[in-house]
């Protein structure tokens, strides 16, 4: 049997780092069962998706108005091929990585789904899971 990706196991499909100061809805603590725990755990994937959407909305408010800027913040180049990550997400959104944009609920949903796909290697959730998490983030 194949092991689920870490983000799916943790109901944290964006692989958001655990920080005890963050009081995310549904956060249950730091991941367990790995040699070097790092990521937050959520009680259900909808709350992990809500956290992704909230972070992206906060990034945008802070002036990160392109996919490249957001992904560079989300997945720093010291750990990731940020350029490839940004191109993949921007492609899903129908944008250039360097085109400034404003979020609509639809564009936010596309970006969240693209991040989940990139972080986990596939998209494991039904549309209703995204709808619930994103609506509660708005």
Note the pLDDT tens digit of each residue in 97-114. 999 999 999 999 999 999
Q: 122-127: which pairs have CB atoms within 8 A and are 24 or more residues apart?
A: 124/4, 124/8, 124/13, 125/13, 125/45, 125/49
Q: Classify residue 29 by its DSSP letter.
A: E
Per-residue pLDDT of the chain (138 residues), as tens digits, is 568 999 999 999 999 999 999 999 999 999 999 999 999 999 999 999 999 999 999 999 999 999 999 999 999 999 899 999 999 999 999 999 999 999 999 999 999 999 999 999 999 999 999 999 999 999
* Domain map (residue ranges) of the chain: 6-137
């Amino acid at each position: 049997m194949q092991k689920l990706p870490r983000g799916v196991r943790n109901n944290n499909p964006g692989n958001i780092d655990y920080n005890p100061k963050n009081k995310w809805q549904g956060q249950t603590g730091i991941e367990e069962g790995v040699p070097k725990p790092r990521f937050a755990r959520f009680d259900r994937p909808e709350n992990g998706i809500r956290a992704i959407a909230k972070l992206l909305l906060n990034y945008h408010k802070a002036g990160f108005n392109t996919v490249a800027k957001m992904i560079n913040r989300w997945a720093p180049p010291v750990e990731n091929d940020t350029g490839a990550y940004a191109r993949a997400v921007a492609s899903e959104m129908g944008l250039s990585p360097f085109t400034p944009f404003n979020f609509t609920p639809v564009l936010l949903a596309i970006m969240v789904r693209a991040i989940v796909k990139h972080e986990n290697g596939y998209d494991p959730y039904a549309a209703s899971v995204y709808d619930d998490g994103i609506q509660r983030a708005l």
